[in-house]
């Protein structure tokens, strides 16, 4: 990796194309869905809401990295099946988290994009294995990772020949307590400038709350993000994970309207279609 690139040097923009969707072409890709796939009905319901509001990719965790081993750990393979079925029914691509290299063949078969979570950004064995596949990998920033460590983690995937990398800024741990993490807006133009790969912003995990998702989406769009990932749930109060930060359908509709306005405001090229 060339982390000595001078700030004036221009890196060409890298696009990631998956299932007919191009990420990083100047428009803002919307990834939305529940933190975890909880049952068939739930993921089908969210998929319909995501599709109806103009989202592109359905998210849903089946293998969940929970802080407490006593918390819901995800439905595993059954969850992947429901996610894939919901994506197919509503014409959405899918993304889900990979925690263990042993699950790579299964997840590659069931989902369109593999997500590496914040806790696994430093799992170099997993990253090397993901370098061998030919599917897009979204690499979330480690909550204690510097931008340089994050860029170097991506090199483990790229070195294997997998060029379909998406970066996801999801906030870093700071001394601040009013938000779950602190969204590092500056990483968006820095990573875009240094690597050229698309940068997705996840305001849900960055904040841990629903009331400031819209302003942070606006800020991310203004800073040049290529996509947003937002948690949505039919009944956040009953969610098995991350209910506190999950938007209701009504809140998601409002967020999508605000996102579209922000894209229009930023420029005609920066569209949300
Ligand atoms: C998630 O996307 O549900 C998730 C666990 O995110 P992170 O790895 O950023 O905490
Ligand atoms: Mn979550």
CB burial of residue 144 (10 Å; 0-12, 13-18, 19+)? exposed
Annotate 61-98 with three-state secondary structure.
ECCCCCCCCCCCCCCCHHHHHHHHHHHHHHCCEEEEEC
pLDDT tens string 48-58? 999 999 999 99
Ligand 1 nearest atom to the CA of residue 229, by list position? 2
Whether pLDDT at 268 is above 80: no
C-alpha 245 – ligand 2 centre gap (Å):
8
Give strand pairing partners of 21. 18
C-alpha 117 – ligand 1 centre gap (Å):
5
What is residue 5's predicted lDDT score, i.e. its pLDDT?
47
110 membership: H or E segment, kind and range: helix 104-110
What is residue 76's predicted lDDT score, i.e. its pLDDT?
97
Cα(64)–Cα(78) distance, integer angstroms: 13
Cα(80)–Cα(102) distance, integer angstroms: 15
Nearest Cα residue to 272 out of 227, 232, 235: 227
Q: Which two tokens stand for residue 187?
A: 């990483």
Ligand 1 nearest atom to the CA of residue 168, by list position? 9
Which mutation among 75, 97, 139 tests ligand 1's pocket best, with the greatest number of atoms within 8 A of CB? 97
Cα(180)–Cα(172) distance, integer angstroms: 9
Neighbours of 175 (CB within 10 A): 5
Q: How far does CA 175 lie from the centroid of its chain? A: 24
Judging by DSSP bridges, how do beta strands 21-23 and 16-18 pair with one another? antiparallel
Tell me the average pLDDT across 214-218.
98
C-alpha 122 – ligand 1 centre gap (Å):
14
Q: Are 59 and 242 in contact (CB under 8 A)?
A: no
Which mutation among 205, 230, 242 tests ligand 1's pocket best, with the greatest number of atoms within 8 A of CB? 205
Whether pLDDT at 3 is above 90: no
Cα(34)–Cα(22) distance, integer angstroms: 23
What does the angle CA 71 – CA 72 – CA 74 come to, to the nearest 5 degrees?
145
Q: Which two tokens stand for residue 96?
A: 């889900």
Rounded (10°) angle between helices 147-159 and 187-195: 40
C-alpha 267 – ligand 1 centre gap (Å):
30
Give strand pairing partners of 113. 95
Going by alpha carbons, the residue nearest to atom 3 of ligand 1 is: 35
Q: Which two tokens stand for residue 3?
A: 């982390």
Which mutation among 36, 46, 68, 117 tests ligand 1's pocket best, with the greatest number of atoms within 8 A of CB? 117
129 membership: H or E segment, kind and range: helix 124-131
Residues around ion ligand 2, judged by CB within 5 A, are 35, 242
Q: What residues are in contact with ligand 1 under a 6 Å CB criterion? A: 35, 61, 65, 117-118, 140, 170, 205
pLDDT band at residue 270 under the 50/70/90 scheme? low
C-alpha 91 – ligand 2 centre gap (Å):
23
C-alpha 65 – ligand 1 centre gap (Å):
8
pLDDT tens string 85-112? 999 999 999 999 999 999 999 999 999 9
Tell me the average pLDDT across 240-266.
97
Whether pLDDT at 4 is above 70: no
Nearest Cα residue to 222 out of 9, 31, 28: 28
Whether pLDDT at 272 is above 80: no
Ligand 1 nearest atom to the CA of residue 59, by list position? 2
4: three-class secondary structure by DSSP: coil
């Amino acid at each position: 990796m060339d982390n000595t690139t001078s700030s004036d040097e221009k890196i060409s923009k890298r696009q990631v194309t998956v299932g007919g969707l191009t990420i990083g072409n100047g428009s803002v890709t919307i990834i939305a869905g529940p933190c975890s796939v909880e049952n068939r009905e739930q993921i089908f319901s969210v998929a319909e809401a995501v599709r109806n509001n103009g989202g592109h990719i359905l998210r849903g965790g089946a293998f969940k990295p929970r802080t407490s081993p006593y918390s819901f750990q995800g439905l595993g393979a059954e969850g992947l099946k429901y996610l894939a079925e919901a994506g197919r029914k509503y014409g959405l691509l899918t993304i889900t988290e990979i925690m263990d290299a042993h699950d790579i063949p299964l997840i590659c078969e069931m989902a369109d994009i593999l997500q590496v979570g914040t806790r696994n950004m430093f799992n170099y064995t997993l990253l090397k294995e993901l370098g061998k596949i030919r599917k897009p990998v979204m690499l979330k920033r480690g909550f204690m990772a510097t931008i340089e460590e994050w860029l170097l983690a991506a090199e483990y995937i790229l070195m294997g020949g997998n060029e379909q990398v998406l970066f996801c800024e999801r906030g870093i741990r700071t001394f601040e307590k009013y938000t779950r993490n602190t969204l590092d807006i500056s990483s968006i133009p820095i990573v875009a400038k240094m690597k050229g790969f698309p940068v997705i912003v996840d305001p849900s995990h960055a904040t841990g709350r629903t009331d400031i998702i819209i302003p942070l989406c606006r800020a991310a769009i203004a800073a040049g993000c290529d996509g947003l990932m937002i948690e949505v749930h039919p009944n956040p109060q009953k969610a098995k994970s991350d209910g506190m930060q999950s938007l209701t359908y009504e809140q998601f509709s409002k967020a999508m309207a605000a996102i579209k306005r922000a894209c229009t405001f930023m420029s005609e090229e920066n569209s949300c279609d």
